[in-house]
Structure 1
Amino acid sequence: MSDITGSAGARAAARDVSGASSIPPPPPFSLKQPGTWSPRVLSQLGYWACSRFVTVMTLFSSTDAANSEPHLFYQPWAEILRTGSFPTGDATWQYPPGAAGVFLAPYLVPGGIDYVRAFLVVVLIADFVVMCALLRHGTRPGRSLAGSAIWLLGLPLMLTQPYVHFDLLVTIFAVLGLLCLERRSWLGGGFAAIGATIKLWPAFAVLGASRGRGLRQAVIGFVASAVALTGLVAALFKAPFGFLHGQGGRGIEIESLPGSIILLAQEYGYHQGEIKYRYGSMEIITPSSETLSKIMLGLSVLGLCLLLAWRLLAAKRFIDSTPADAAIAALLVFVVTSRVISPQYCIWLIGVAAVCLSYRSTSQRWVVALVTAATALTTVEYPLFWKQLLWGDTGLRTLLVARNGLLLIAAVVSCVQLWRSTVSTGRRKRYSAH
């Protein structure tokens, strides 16, 4: 009897007054500590290795590597960058100054391999770093490995596309920025700034930073890093801001929301519109193209203003998932109002969606499901049936409109859920009363 009561007493002593176990939780995943490699972590790492091996073999067993962007665009740009100048006069060059580091990075890969294979090595390293960061974050108390699972399964949905575009090398900084905001806000802001100097959208990572000291540190880290990196690149290269001309001249790309609607309308009697290759993408030229382009730019600005209004006026309740939830809402607004929706934009969305799902408190679960479905539809239209889309296949043009419809619904749902999760109940009632 004494053994029984003693055992019960030991179990009771192992709990504090609140009823929570005093046994410390297992440490988060770390590559340096095999003791943290739980079966769930090992299974995800194993699947990562197998899925990426198959993707790489698929890439080099076809003509994708020889006809990929690293071969056709990135290497020629890198050769010009090595001379100390940005590729001015090239209409396809549309990237901020920090992109120079991305295109020169393959030259740092040892072994004397060619540029395309070196680029693939750099992308795979970035993919693995994101995977490990999500695993480490997901094994912390109150977190979830669902985020790493989305990253693990979402990229293969895009076949070889993540490995022949540099967008994964942008996404890594947005993911690391969001993951660092909670513990080291200044570092999170710094990572977001690095990403923003390559492509602007990672700046959304600091939109939902918690008020007070965390927000100040994030903003300071972002501004200081952005200024320092831009200044360094401007000192080392000529014409670092030539990309602005290429961006300003872009029109309505066929995969954008208005572009897809025009394509489908052509199948039902709308006889205006011609597809042309301009500024690195297939654009649809109609008498209203310039007006549509201005409208989409205006909608992007309006969306940004509404998000800033949410940040300044409405957002009062910040929880651990708020930065990631705000980032995916802003990114979706940016994507659906863009004049261009390239397939690689799904890499951005899957990356931020993975961070959202790594928090059990996220308000964006349905949004992640919609983004994943849109990613699958994107792969059908590009690269699987791209030529048929251009040739006027009605079914594929309908699918493209459906994909954009999913993204639009995801943007609306994301913003609504972000509002509901950050605006107090009493405040919502006051707004609805007005």
Structure 2
Amino acid sequence: MDGTGTRRSLAGVLTVWAASRTLLLLFVLKVFVFPGPDVTTDVSVIYRGWYEVLRGGAFPPDDVTWQYPPAAALAILSPALLPFLEYTVAFGVLALLADLTVLCLLLYGGRRPGRPLRGAWTWTVGAALLGPTLYTRYDVMVTAVAVAALFAGTRRPRTMGVLAGFGALLKVWPVLLLTGSARRRSWAAAAVTVIALGSLFLLTMPGALSFLTAQRDRGTEVESLGALVFHVARHFGWSGQVLLHYGSVEFVGPYVEVVSLASLALTGAAFGWLLLWRLCAHRLGPTALADAAFTAVLLFTATSRVISPQYLVWLVALAAVCLCFQGSGMVVPAGLVLAAALVTVLEFPLFFAEVVAGDPLGIGLLFLRNGLLVTACVTACRTLWRSTVSGPAGPAGPVGSPRTRTTAR
């Protein structure tokens, strides 16, 4: 792509990003009303309540809705950086800055000729498809840390490890970014970061590990893969019900525990596949780090007992990172994730009442969204295996080694 074409593409990305984000902020600020349940209450009620407790130097006591690692407190307290703004507005502004950080990282990663900034376009469009949920959960802040970690991975393994460790203390899943890392320095740096920062929270703020119990006791959330069993079963006389349970809308009743255990077993099987892949992989080229991270988080998300709408923020961002690297085979899984993002905003918040009620429209949307995620998982796993295991061993060394160190495009 020549210089003129590159400038036009860049101008297009920036224009679409600015227009879409302005619209999202107008929804968050309630200048316009987004259809369905009010998605801003997580910030204005739940986060705001936690903020008051956390300012006192302790984690929320006996609050089962607090299900996050200790560094999540930093995200909840972050609006204090803008004391001249009301909490919800300040949070939205900081979420916007995190979104912009992700875009800048992707623009930097896709700056070279040969790729029409497809990673930046994927994020710009895909994140916008999720609607105002993007700015009413702290996941976009975690995502910015994760994207920075992946771009650091090929050249600065210690930096990647520090960022991945910090991200894990924000919301656990960024530890999966290390799945494809062949550098011990990344793993060591992540472990040191988790131990050091985690110990600091343990020593200074009571209740730092309370999130473990809350996560353990969660059931099957109505949007998850396992929930489809009960959505269908309700039409054949299943006697359970849908309740607000542990901070989310979950199924409660006969066989729910069995399905929840099956979901955990499926997650265990997914991690087992990742371990097998890691032991068999012998072609860890420059795309493997991002491709493996994307695949691992896809597996974690699709098999989870909970698939909240904001989880798609992670997947869209990781798909965008993959598409910044020349030779990544994740084009089809990335497209499936974008389609899942579009269906997600339909099932929540637009038609969430139909999902909770188990109406045909709600069930159909869930089958479609979860089916897209499962298909993306299968496609990503097959692509990752073929690109790193099935082919003959070549001269490629570990990711980040001198022979494979390639600048992301």
TM-score strictly above 0.5:
yes
Q: Kindly tell me: are residues 270 and 405 of structure 1, through their superposed partners in 2, closer, same or farther at Cα, counting changes over 3 Å?
A: farther
Which of 12, 15, 18 is residue 46 of structure 1 equivalent to?
15
Q: Match for 2:177: what amino acid? A: A
Residue 6 of structure 1 is matched in structure 2 by none
The two structures have a TM-score, normalised by structure 1, of: 0.85
Q: Kindly tell me: are residues 179 and 148 of structure 1, through their superposed partners in 2, closer, same or farther at Cα, counting changes over 3 Å?
A: same
Aligned-pair identity (%): 38
Which of 146, 152, 159 is residue 174 of structure 1 equivalent to?
146
SS at match of 1:226: helix
Residue 90 of structure 1 is matched in structure 2 by 63
Deviations 1:28-51 (A, max 9, x none): xxxxxxx9x833223212221121
Q: Does 1:194 align with 2:166?
A: yes
Residue 330 of structure 1 is matched in structure 2 by 296
Residue 402 of structure 2 is matched in structure 1 by none
CA shift, 1:68, in A, is 2.1
Which of 279, 297, 303 is residue 246 of structure 2 equivalent to?
279
Q: Rg: which structure is higher?
A: 1
CA shift, 1:329, in A, is 0.9
More deviation in 139-148 or 274-283? 139-148
CA shift, 1:271, in A, is 2.8
Which of 23, 43, 52 is residue 79 of structure 1 equivalent to?
52
Which of 274, 287, 294 is residue 307 of structure 1 equivalent to?
274
SS at match of 1:160: helix
Runs of 4+ in 1 over 6 A off after TM superposition: none
Contact 2:222 2:356 in 1 (8 A): no
1:99-178 alignment, distance < 5 Å: 99-110=72-83, 112-140=84-112, 145-178=117-150
Residue 291 of structure 1 is matched in structure 2 by 258
CA shift, 1:143, in A, is 5.5
The number of residues matched between the two structures is 388
Residue 221 of structure 2 is matched in structure 1 by 253
Contact 1:317 1:424 in 2 (8 A): no
**Separation (CA, whole Å) in 2 of partners of 1:345 and 1:239:** 25
CA shift, 1:263, in A, is 0.6
Q: Does 1:225 align with 2:193?
A: yes
Deviations 1:275-333 (A, max 9, x none): 1110111111231111111121122122112212211x211101211111101111111
Q: Match for 2:17: what amino acid? A: W
* Structure 1 unpaired stretches of 5+: 1-24, 27-34, 428-434
Q: Match for 1:61: what amino acid? A: V
Q: Does 1:264 align with 2:232?
A: yes
Q: Match for 2:50: what amino acid? A: W
Which of 11, 23, 26 is residue 57 of structure 1 equivalent to?
26
Contact 2:226 2:260 in 1 (8 A): no
CA shift, 1:426, in A, is 4.6
Contact 2:72 2:169 in 1 (8 A): yes
Contact 1:124 1:163 in 2 (8 A): yes
Q: Kindly tell me: are residues 410 and 66 of structure 1, through their superposed partners in 2, closer, same or farther at Cα, counting changes over 3 Å?
A: closer
Bigger relative CO (Cα 8 Å, ≥ 6 apart): 2
Residue 399 of structure 2 is matched in structure 1 by none
Residue 353 of structure 2 is matched in structure 1 by 387
Contact 1:181 1:187 in 2 (8 A): yes
* Structure 2 unpaired stretches of 5+: 394-409
**Separation (CA, whole Å) in 2 of partners of 1:317 and 1:205:** 18
Residue 343 of structure 2 is matched in structure 1 by 377
RMSD across aligned positions (CA): 2.0
SS at match of 2:56: coil
**Separation (CA, whole Å) in 2 of partners of 1:136 and 1:426:** 32
CA shift, 1:420, in A, is 0.3
Q: Match for 1:275: what amino acid? A: V
Contact 1:144 1:358 in 2 (8 A): no
**Separation (CA, whole Å) in 2 of partners of 1:421 and 1:66:** 40
Contact 1:246 1:279 in 2 (8 A): yes
SS at match of 1:154: helix
CA shift, 1:63, in A, is 5.8
Deviations 1:95-128 (A, max 9, x none): 0011011101110125x11100010111011000
More deviation in 130-139 or 186-195? 186-195
**Separation (CA, whole Å) in 2 of partners of 1:127 and 1:343:** 16
Which of 365, 385, 392 is residue 399 of structure 1 equivalent to?
365
Contact 1:264 1:398 in 2 (8 A): no
**Separation (CA, whole Å) in 2 of partners of 1:51 and 1:67:** 18
Residue 431 of structure 1 is matched in structure 2 by none
Residue 5 of structure 1 is matched in structure 2 by none
SS at match of 2:12: helix
Contact 1:261 1:401 in 2 (8 A): no
Q: Match for 1:247: what amino acid? A: Q
Deviations 1:238-294 (A, max 9, x none): 110011111111011111111023213323x24332111101111112311111111
CA shift, 1:184, in A, is 1.0
Q: Match for 1:135: what amino acid? A: L
**Separation (CA, whole Å) in 2 of partners of 1:207 and 1:67:** 34
Q: Kindly tell me: are residues 409 and 71 of structure 1, through their superposed partners in 2, closer, same or farther at Cα, counting changes over 3 Å?
A: same
Q: Match for 1:159: what amino acid? A: G
Deviations 1:404-431 (A, max 9, x none): 111111111111110001014358xxxx
Q: Match for 2:381: what amino acid? A: C
Contact 1:142 1:359 in 2 (8 A): no
Q: Match for 1:299: what amino acid? A: L
